[in-house]
Amino acid sequence: MSTAAALDPQTRAAGPAGAKARDEAKLPRDPAREVIETVVFVVVLVLLLKLFVTEAFVIPTGSMAETLYGYQKVIGCAKCGHEFPVNSHDEVEGRQQDGQRTQLVSYCCPNCRHAGLIADLPVQPQNRTGDRVLVLKPLYHLRRPERGDVVVFKFPERPQDNHVASNYIKRAMAFGGETVAIFRGDLYVTTALEYPDTNPLFARPDDPNDLWQKRYRYANSAQAEDLFDKSRLAEFTPAVPGGFQIVRKSEAHLLADLRVVWDNDKQPAAAPFAAQRWQVSKGTGWTGDSATATRAFAHAGDELDWLRYQHLVWKQEAGGARVPWRWPQDAGPPVAGPIDNLLGYNAGGSRDPLTNRVESRDTSSAPTLWVGDLCLECEAQLDAGAEVVLELSKGARRFQAKFGNGQVALARVDANRNPDPAFAPAARPCKVTAGTYKLRFANIDNRLWVWVDGARVDFGTDGDYTAVEPGSYDPEDTAKEGWTRANDIDAPASIGARGRVPAVRAIKLHRDVYYVNDRHTHTQADLYYVQPGHYLCLGDNSAQSSDSRTWGVVPERLMLGKAVFVFWPGPFESTGRWPWNVRLDWNKNRIGFIK
């Protein structure tokens, strides 16, 4: 070592190690090797993340609409301006039965029921790819999915198709050991039923990996039907030991499942839509901002006066039956009828390339089924001392949420609005006094829900009630669905006010998902037993979903993970929509966490 180096304090401190480091620093670097090492590291990291942590999937079909969309075209209705997606899977990838591509040429607006041609729209919608979702995998190593979780799994019948994974996405709605009933659009469950293997009809397969198959669900067994009938007659109360109980959604699941019935801000002004769906009774304190297409209402007076909604989407035939009304195919204005479960996503028409005919994609009877589970929302401006009441009907009952004077109270009344003293939950405090508030009231899964400015007012189980089996059916209800003319046709939803209410506007009515059963009957339930270690998975688009109702349950070994996030569902278009389909409303976001 030189004298100068020996005198350098840093060299003395570093010693031989410092000298070695300086020598290595002088060696030339290999850029190619560094690039290869970085690429290998990234690839290994991505594979590990994909294998054990998270993976991205693209939704190809519409079985989860309107929570998640497959291939779609976003339509702006030519009459009311309501925007909604229509399934375009068959135009992009072809029909599932034969692979034939069919052009999407028409739509039916779920808001105003205008049946229009896509070619007539001023801006031609483009095909959008399905929603992209991130699936979180570790949850299935740590815990089971919860009821209502959106899950991704390999299709049990064909986990791979031409060496490509067949991945399905649905909601896990029941678990091993449970028996599930689908009845009048709702789900009911019990764990009390066990099926002896000694019964030859219910014999288990030799290979336990076959338990997912449809025949091992013991569908509609006599034992299950007997317990369900007893539970139904007891109004699904604990009076029947081990009886069926209704499945109630979480708040997030409920909001994700809402489908538009009528947006009062999106009204066609031209005939034959002259009859308004929200109507003011003459001689009351209500006034509207327009003689036609009224969007905002005001109230003055000390009496409790009402606005009422009528579902004007039906055509009355000569024999008295109602059939769906479509404009412009049907002449004359529509008539009122029960709220139905038409979904605009399913109501597109495709041109068959062989026959050149336009055929609706929704050929089942599902769009004409009555839905009694509703959600009503509005923006209300109240003066001091005023009250606003939101009311929803279901069968022989009406349910109310009364807002004002710093509290909200729930009530149950009959068709004449006489209160039922057996249902009188204590009022809850809320911020509604004098001012402007967004109010929402829902009657879904035999539970009443209330929100003010997007925040739920928690009634706990006080808002729960039991179903009532009709002693007799309305003479017009020939299908025995359970609706009544006085409530579900004349006033399925109403808004009341007492005192000075300068404005009630932004009125929207939504409905819940209606789970369709295979029997297409309203007097019997479909009943399915879920084998241990399996899940019963259903699509949110029940009328058009291939799920556990048709092919069986899902083994836990084929579960891939829980879908937790939607991202980048489609490109920016000239319609002015954001690249991520962001919807700044109360119901759902196209980018964000999946409910």
> What's the rounded Cα separation, in Å, for the pair 323 and 408?
39
**pLDDT tens digit string along 454-509?**
999 999 999 999 988 888 899 999 889 999 999 999 999 999 999 999 999 999 99
The span from the CA of 447 to the CA of 437, in Å, is 23
User: 514: closest CA among 378, 338, 391, 360?
Assistant: 338
> Within 13 A of 243's CA, how many CA atoms are on the CB side?
17
CB 108 within 8 A of CB 115: yes
Q: Is residue 390 part of a domain?
A: yes
Q: Which tokens in the block code for residue 566?
A: 């939607």
pLDDT at residue 538 in the model = 97
Residues 6+ positions from 142 with CB-CB distance below 8 Å: none
In whole angstroms, give the CA distance from residue 80 to residue 278.
16
User: How far is the C-alpha of 430 from the C-alpha of 433, rounded, in Å?
Assistant: 8
* Contact between residue 366 and residue 543 where contact means Cβ atoms under 8 Å apart: yes
What pLDDT was estimated at residue 575?
A: 30
Q: What is the pLDDT of residue 359?
A: 72
- pLDDT at position 460, please? 92
% of the chain at pLDDT higher than 90: 55
Amino acid code (one letter) for 239: A
For residue 12, give both structure tokens: 């003395």
* Beta-carbon count within 10 A of 193 CB: 18
Question: Would you say residue 306 lies in a domain?
Answer: yes
Highest-scoring range by mean pLDDT, 27-36, 213-222, 541-550: 541-550
Give the CATH number of the domain where residue 314 resides. Answer: 2.60.120.560
Which domain range does residue 462 map to?
Answer: 274-324+370-511
Query: 156, exposed or middle or buried, with CB in 10 Å at 0-12, 13-18, 19+?
Result: buried
Separation between Cα atoms, residue 492 and residue 313, nearest integer Å: 14
In a domain, 301, yes or no: yes
Evaluate whether residue 484 is within a structural domain. yes
pLDDT band at 587 (very low <50, low <70, confident <90, very high): very low
pLDDT digit string, tens, across residues 127-178: 998 888 888 775 444 567 889 999 999 999 887 776 677 889 999 999 999 9
Name the residue with higher pLDDT: 188 or 350.
188
pLDDT tens digits for 175-200? 999 999 999 999 999 999 886 555 66
Q: Name the helix (H) or strand (E) containing 72.
A: strand 72-76
232 pLDDT band, cuts 50/70/90, is very high
Q: List all residues 6 or more positions away from 449 whose beta carbon is below 8 Å from its beta carbon.
A: 251, 254, 375, 440, 441, 442, 443, 456, 459, 463
Residue 483 and residue 475 in contact, taking contact as beta carbons nearer than 8 Å:
no
Could you tell me if 315 and 272 are in contact, meaning their C-beta atoms sit under 8 angstroms apart?
Answer: no
Q: In the prediction, which pLDDT does 281 show?
A: 78
Bridge-based pairing state of the strands 493-498 and 305-309: antiparallel
Q: How many structural domains does the chain have?
A: 1
For 239-278, write each residue's pLDDT tens digit: 999 999 999 999 999 999 999 999 999 988 766 665 689 9
pLDDT (0 to 100) of residue 36 = 75
Contacts of 99 (CB under 8 A, 6+ apart): none
Looking up tokens 């009938």 gives 229
Range in 44-58, 136-150, 287-301 the model is least confident about: 44-58
Alpha-carbon torsion (30, 32, 35, 37), positive or negative: negative
pTM: 0.86
H-type helices in 234-374, by residue range?
251-256
Q: How far apart are CA 13 and CA 163, in angstroms?
A: 63
pLDDT at 33 over 80: no
What residue spans of 293-355 are helical by DSSP H?
Answer: none
**Inside any domain, residue 500:** yes
Task: Note whether residue 119 is domain-resident.
Answer: no
Q: What is the pLDDT of residue 571?
A: 41
Distance CA 580, CA 591 (A): 6
At 444 the pLDDT is 97
Distance of CA 368 to the CA centre of its chain: 18
Residue 594 or residue 105, greater confidence: 105
Say how far apart CA 410 and CA 432 lie, in whole Å: 15
| Backbone CA torsion sign across 446, 451, 454, 456 | negative
Residue 214, SS3 per DSSP: helix
Mean pLDDT computed over every residue of the chain: 84
Across 363-383, average pLDDT: 87
| Structural domain includes residue 120 | no
pLDDT at 285: 93
State CA 388 to chain mean position distance: 28
- 222's tokens: 């006599």
Q: Output the six-digit token pair for 558.
A: 């084929």
Instruction: Kindly tell me the sign of the dihedral angle through the C-alpha atoms of 234, 239, 242, 246.
Output: positive
For 123-246, strand residue ranges (E) read 132-136, 150-154, 160-161, 164-165, 167-175, 179-183, 186-190, 245-246
400 neighbors 393 (Cβ within 8 angstroms): no
Residue 482 CB partners (closer than 8 Å, separation 6+) = 184, 370, 372, 395, 470, 473, 522
> What does the pLDDT read at residue 366?
64
- Would residue 140 count as lying in a domain? no
Between 379 and 331, name the one with better pLDDT.
379
pLDDT of the residue at 579: 32
Specify the pLDDT at position 56. Answer: 77
* Token pair in block for residue 567: 């991202």
Lowest-confidence pick of 111-120, 273-282, 552-561: 273-282
pLDDT band at 367 (very low <50, low <70, confident <90, very high): confident
* Amino acid (1-letter code) at residue 269: A
